[in-house]
Structure 1
């Protein structure tokens, strides 16, 4: 059997990509090294991940938000005709987000500077633990017909012009395409000949759960010291950064004695630990593949880019890769994609990855145990305390300013489509659940409808006014929710056919 796509890695990125490909009818095999997905590191507290606006929008547009972030949905369902959601968009919860540990007051945010946003079930940042995210995505992928094989580590691959041969364990699998979603130490990336460049680590990070004989010696909260940083979220749940060049990351077992020594060194106390319940290490090593595609092999998630978990943007970055890649790879397999559609995956996502990596490096610069970093931290703290500063940092952390450079003159092109509340009772985000492109025709223009019919197999045409159309006449939305074309003027739709051809290929009719 030849699969359309083999995905290496059954983490959130690989599983979400499998869902996206199955939505388009593509045959998918997911290979995962771990036999059992269960891990205490995927549960609270260490498994918690903040979900950005683009991630929440992606889950909402695919009907996954109710299961992944039910608390968020319960809040929105209780809103009065969207009024509460709109209020939340204007005044989110306090201190929801930080930069190098410097929390911004989210009531100080001027959301009017975030253009083309409407109240949506996905408009308030929230979080979910990795166990829940993976469970929901795996269940959805299997229900949609994806095959998931666990306990199989990709070891070798061989490519030709037409297919990829993948050896995992004692078995060999054939596919038209291979996507490496197998993490920061990706075998696919190494075997596929990808160059991985960046900066070396400055510290070893620790996330531990311990029992403390004398807990009063360690204060709660985040503390920068002359020798590093420690953060105690609750008694015994501690994160630390020891600026040792990453020397202790995955080099030897983590013992109670070692954790105690590091904690004493960083905190400057003689605190005594009596038990080590859970421990893991990480670093700020920051690297990115120079290209996301080599022939019939592609990379996504940590296989394509790694950085420190500061700010919690790694998961969101990888899920954005999957949302961007899925529909493009499916269209390529169908044979109706424009010649350069798949190459646009790298063009769009590589710059976003580079920005996040620099964002991570900037946070490390503020964390260094030096007088200059403490001075810089004080300045950034003052900046985040201003209205413009809080708005800027929130926009970066929450991802509301994400925009791809797609060309065109309209300021909405390249941005996430607003969740228009349509007169027919539906919302724009709900209309994207089938994974097709969407043409919103607010004026029910007959000529626009005729154009849309030429791509009826790839574009859903919706002729309906909206409660707030934001001054727009029509909007063409890609399957990933990104605006490909927009017009403010009724009857001015000449560019829509060109945009449709650019993104969805030649019309069928």
Structure 2
């Protein structure tokens, strides 16, 4: 059998991409090296991952948000919470809304009225999810859609030609028209594919530790900077610490009780004693990115395409954004109805987003260095974050509100995530996007746009009815990933819309089938 797509890696990014491709009825095989999906590091407390605006919107638009948000193991504060990422007022919310290198900013300082094209709705929340639960939901959904998932079959190598990719895994050969590497920071697909991977080396080794502390009074709860590093104790015995050793201990040092205790004593500047070590892992702030996310019939997504420190909790969201962006473009390419350059727009759109996140994490490392210069900079940034402008800026970055692809077009909504419009019957934009097709929204029900109904076949559905709050818009063209390809505040001409859509959709009569 020749699959349309083989995906290396059954983490959240690989599974979500598989779901996107199956929405378009593509044949998908996911190969995963691990025989079992379970791991202590995927469970609380270390397996908790923050999901931000674009990821939550993506799950809402595919009907997955409720299942992901209803994790019974998540506990208080880890499940969905209302977020001021909409037009709703933040003045009614209290407490920390997020942080940058551990420096918090407050809900009350965030001015969400500046975000003109945001509407409240089901995706208007902040959400913490346990990695194991997230993978379980996505795996079940993928298999319900018809994705083939084989565990214990890690990709060992491949040969790519102009027509197909032959993948070697578990002593077997699999054939596909495309291969996507979602196999993590040490990606075999990226290495075998010869992708250039550039960036900066590590400054630190980070530790995540669960232990029994013999003298707990010596370690305070919360985040603490010291002359030799930083440690955070979220709850008794659950500790994160950073040791600025140039990353020397990551994957090179046995994580024994003695080693972890020595690092903790050095970083905390105490003589604290650990009497038992239950779990320990390390990470670094090495930040690297593939210079392109595509070489021929091989593509990269998630950590295979970019790695960075976990500071700020952006890595999972970045990878999920890759999957949502790539899925419909690769499906259109497979169907033969993709305009020229559509698949290349994946790298063009997502690479700058990844580069921005890498710099975001590098800046946090700079603030965490154990030096008087960093402490001085931290003091200044605390003052900035305590202002309305500062808190709003950091909220925009952290929550993904500022995400905008450079799609050309003059309207300020083009390239942004489409507002979650609500129709008079209560149906929302997110619900209408669940089948993975684009939408032409005609709020004024113009005769000129009605003439375009069916022009793009099953790539775009025409919706001619008004919404409860159109935000001053007359018509909007929405891509399958929920981002706005074109928008107008006035009655548009068919020619204007057709030109704008040509980059994303091919008219029915111009398609060249690949079957």
TM-score, scaled to structure 2: 0.95
Report the number of matched residues.
505
Equivalent position SS for 2:281: strand
Q: Which residue of 2 aligns with 1:109?
A: 110
Q: Secondary structure at the match of 2:333?
A: helix
1:431 partnered with 2:432: yes
Q: CA deviation at 1:254?
A: 0.4
**1:40 alignment counterpart:** 40
Deviation by residue 1:163-211 (Cα, 9 ceiling, x = unmatched): 0011012101010000000000000000001000000000000000000
User: What residue in structure 1 maps to residue 210 of structure 2?
Assistant: 209
1:95–1:106 contact (8 Å) kept in structure 2: yes
Per-residue CA deviation, residues 185-240 of structure 1 (Å, 9 max, x unaligned), is 00000000100000000000000000011000000000010000000001100000
User: How far off its partner does 1:86 sit?
Assistant: 5.8
- 1:188 maps to which residue? 189
- Within a 5 Å distance, the mapping from 1:154-165 to structure 2 comes to 154-165=155-166
Give how far 1:94 is off: 2.4
Name 1:29's counterpart in structure 2.
29
1:97 alignment partner in structure 2: 98
Distance 1:189 1:92 in 2: 44
Q: Distance in 2 between matches of 1:282 and 1:271?
A: 23
CA contact (8 A) 2:85 2:125 kept: no
Cross-structure match for 1:306: 307
Unaligned segments of structure 1, at least 5 residues: none
Residue 242 (structure 1) aligns with? 243
How do 1:336-347 residues align onto structure 2 when only pairs under 5 Å count? Answer: 336-347=337-348
Gaps of 5+ in 2: 72-76, 511-515
Q: Any idea what SS the aligned residue of 1:475 has?
A: strand
CA RMSD of aligned residues (A): 1.9
Distance in 1 separating the partners of 2:281 and 2:457: 51
Distance in 1, matches of 2:84 and 2:376, equals 42
| Cα pair 1:89 1:123 within 8 Å, conserved | no
Conservation of the 8 A alpha-carbon contact between 1:442 and 1:465: yes
**Deviation readout 1:99-122 (Å, 9 max, x if unpaired):** 001111122100011220000211
Does the CA contact (< 8 Å) of 2:223 and 2:231 recur in 1?
A: yes
Residue matched to 1:291 = 292
Summarize deviations over 1:390-429 as a string: whole Å, max 9, x none: 0001110110110000001101000000001112431111
Contact 2:87 2:116 in 1 (8 A): no
Distance 2:503 2:198 in 1: 32
Which residue of structure 1 aligns with residue 513 of structure 2?
A: none
Q: 1:92 to 1:133 in 2, by over 3 A?
A: farther
Cα separation, 1, equivalents of 2:481 and 2:490: 25
CA distance in 2, matches of 1:500, 1:275: 61
Give the aligned partner of residue 10 of structure 1: 10
Q: Distance in 2 between matches of 1:376 and 1:219?
A: 24
Q: TM-score, normalised by structure 1?
A: 0.96
Q: For the residues of structure 1 that align with 2:172 and 2:333, how far apart are their CA atoms? A: 27
Q: Measure, in 2, the Cα distance between the counterparts of 1:109 and 1:86.
A: 11
Structure 1 pair 84–128 and aligned structure 2 pair: CA distance change class (3 A)? closer
Deviation of 1:162 (Å): 0.3
Q: Within 5 A, what are the aligned runs for 1:308-387?
A: 308-387=309-388
1:446-461 alignment, distance < 5 Å: 446-461=447-462
Residue 87 of structure 1: how far off its partner (Å)? 3.9
Which residue of 2 is the match for residue 61 of structure 1?
A: 61
Aligned to 1:49: 49
Partner Cα separation in structure 2 for residue 453 and residue 42 of structure 1: 45
